[in-house]
Amino acid sequence: MNTIISILTSVISQAAVLVALISFIGLVAQRASIERTMTGTLKTFLGFLIMGQGSNIITGMLDPLNEIMMEAFHIQGVIPVNEAITAMASEQYGTKMAFIAFFGLIINILLARFTKFKYIFLSGHHTIIMAALTAVMLSMFGLPTAGVIAIGAIVVGIMSVLTPAISMPFVRKITGGETFALGHWATTGYIFSGFIGKIFGKNPEETSTEKMELPKWMGFFKEPVILMGIGVFIIEIICCAFAGSEFVANYAGTTHMVVWALMQGFIFSAGVSVILLGVRMILAELVPAFKGIAERIVPNAIPALDCPTVFTFAPNAIMVGFIGYTIGQFIAFGICLATGMTVIIPTLLHSFFMGGTAAIFANATGGRRGAVIGSLLTGVLNNMLCSLLFPAFAALGFAGTTFADTDFSIIGLIFYGIAHLLGVA
């Protein structure tokens, strides 16, 4: 009997096994072939392990960077990358994350079935990230595991139907239809941008960004992982220059500073690529299973999809947003430096996804002027929210990276605020 309990406990406490089990249930529910069920389950298992290994790569290069940055500027800079902090969180909170995601998806289906919010949240990577956020934040309160899972799942479930619902008026305008909703947890930022566009922009139809002719070279901004490598390289080289080659030699050995910085930048990209590979494998099984089950239970379900699904309706706005959002990030960077708050390093990855989408929202309400101002202010907002929340993660032992998207920051700040009021943080 003890052996059985021991095996069961090991199974449940090894998050990778747990996630694979969820996949297994999903595949069986879809009546997949035995071969498909086995390969699907094992792929999910492998994907989770790959994600964990990717996290090691990132931690490995962020530690030296943090020390060099401290030596150079006496600040602790943070590069917000959802996948990185989620992978790090999975080491300690993986089991809670898996359960929160699983039950969160179930609550999504139930809410869609029994309320007028018929949205099925299909951005699985964000579900996992929110599960990580809630698992980490709820650990501040000293709740029993069941409590953490229950509250986390309720947050995930409610957010899954709420955010597509509140962005729907804008999405309708952008896509001209009702066939899908937006499922991306920077929604509060996008709505903010939409309102900024309404206030500061004018004549959305006449001055739309789509009526502009943009230069071809801007297409370069479509490779997020490469951009990350270049971005981190620039950060590394600046920090190394100010820290001095003698200090950097502690980490770089006999390698020249510039070459070492380039390596570090792209090791970050390598780590993110590995994490993405792992997440891809996990989602490949979970999202179709979830969709299949959801569609059977919720008639007239509206899929809530990842932000690039609106990119196709306003491709020029993405480029405008990229630039606007980047400027906004640098403004936030300046504010953080000046006020002594946690310094959030401008991260071009977000200029593409969140900047692009923010610009699309603001363009729909305020044309190109809306797109520029909306994306810029959203960049400032998102990074300042990250900066406000980071101390909570620092206290829990995380360093160097954090959650980036608006909704993660907002939910995190709500929990952080409650923890403050209760005197636990």
Partner 1 sequence: MKIVCVCAMGLGSSLILRMNVEKALERLGVKDAKVEVADTGSARGANPDVIVSSHSFCEELADMNVPMVEVVNYTDIAYIEAELKEILSK
Write down the least CB distance from residue 39 to partner 1, Å: 13
Is 110:139 a contact under the CB 8 Å cutoff? no
Q: Based on the shown chain and the rule CB under 8 A, indicate whether residue 173 belongs to the binding site for partner 1.
A: no
Write down the least CB distance from residue 62 to partner 1, Å: 20
Largest CA distance in the chain: 73
Query: Would you give the DSSP letter of residue 220?
Result: G
Tell me if residue 141 falls in helix, strand or coil: helix
Write down the least CB distance from residue 394 to partner 1, Å: 27
Among 312, 340, 397, 421, binds partner 1 (CB under 8 A): 312
For 415, how many CA atoms within 13 A lie in the half-sphere containing its CB? Answer: 25
Pick out residues in 69-128 that bind partner 1 (CB under 8 A): 122-125
Phi, psi of 341 (to 5 degrees): -75, 170
For residue 374, give the H/E element and its range: helix 348-395
Tell me if residue 246 falls in helix, strand or coil: helix
For 5, 96, 102, 167, 202, the CA distances from 205, given in Å and listed in that order, are 64, 47, 42, 20, 9
Q: Considering the complex, state which of residue 31 and residue 74 has its C-beta at the smaller distance from partner 1.
A: 31
Write down the least CB distance from residue 292 to partner 1, Å: 9
Token duo for residue 1:
């009997």
Q: Based on the shown chain and the rule CB under 8 A, indicate whether residue 211 belongs to the binding site for partner 1.
A: no
Q: Based on the shown chain and the rule CB under 8 A, indicate whether residue 313 belongs to the binding site for partner 1.
A: yes
Please tell me the count of residues contacting partner 1 according to CB under 8 A.
33
Query: Would you give the DSSP letter of residue 255?
Result: S
Write down the least CB distance from residue 263 to partner 1, Å: 19
CA 228 to chain centre: 14
Is 101:156 a contact under the CB 8 Å cutoff? yes
Site string for partner 1, 3-42 (x = CB under 8 A): ----------------------------------------
Is 407:190 a contact under the CB 8 Å cutoff? no
Q: Considering the complex, state which of residue 65 and residue 349 has its C-beta at the smaller distance from partner 1.
A: 349
The amino acid sitting at 228 is M
Nearest to 208 by CA among 319, 316, 311: 316
Instruction: Please report, in angstroms and rounded to a whole number, the separation of the first and last CA atoms in the chain.
Output: 41
Q: Based on the shown chain and the rule CB under 8 A, indicate whether residue 389 belongs to the binding site for partner 1.
A: no
Site string for partner 1, 343-372 (x = CB under 8 A): ---------xx-------------------
Q: Considering the complex, state which of residue 221 and residue 333 has its C-beta at the smaller distance from partner 1.
A: 221
Write down the least CB distance from residue 315 to partner 1, Å: 6
The amino acid sitting at 260 is W
Write down the least CB distance from residue 125 to partner 1, Å: 6
Q: Considering the complex, state which of residue 125 and residue 368 has its C-beta at the smaller distance from partner 1.
A: 125
Is 106:293 a contact under the CB 8 Å cutoff? no
Pick out residues in 128-147 that bind partner 1 (CB under 8 A): none
Q: Considering the complex, state which of residue 161 and residue 275 has its C-beta at the smaller distance from partner 1.
A: 275
Q: Considering the complex, state which of residue 69 and residue 283 has its C-beta at the smaller distance from partner 1.
A: 283
Site string for partner 1, 272-311 (x = CB under 8 A): ----x--xx--xx--xx--x-----------x-xxxxx-x
Q: Considering the complex, state which of residue 52 and residue 77 has its C-beta at the smaller distance from partner 1.
A: 52
Q: Based on the shown chain and the rule CB under 8 A, indicate whether residue 219 belongs to the binding site for partner 1.
A: yes
Is 381:196 a contact under the CB 8 Å cutoff? no
The owner of tokens 């951005």 is 123
Residues found near partner 1 in the complex (CB under 8 A)? 122-125, 175, 177, 179-180, 219, 222-225, 276, 279-280, 283-284, 287-288, 291, 303, 305-309, 311-313, 315, 352-353
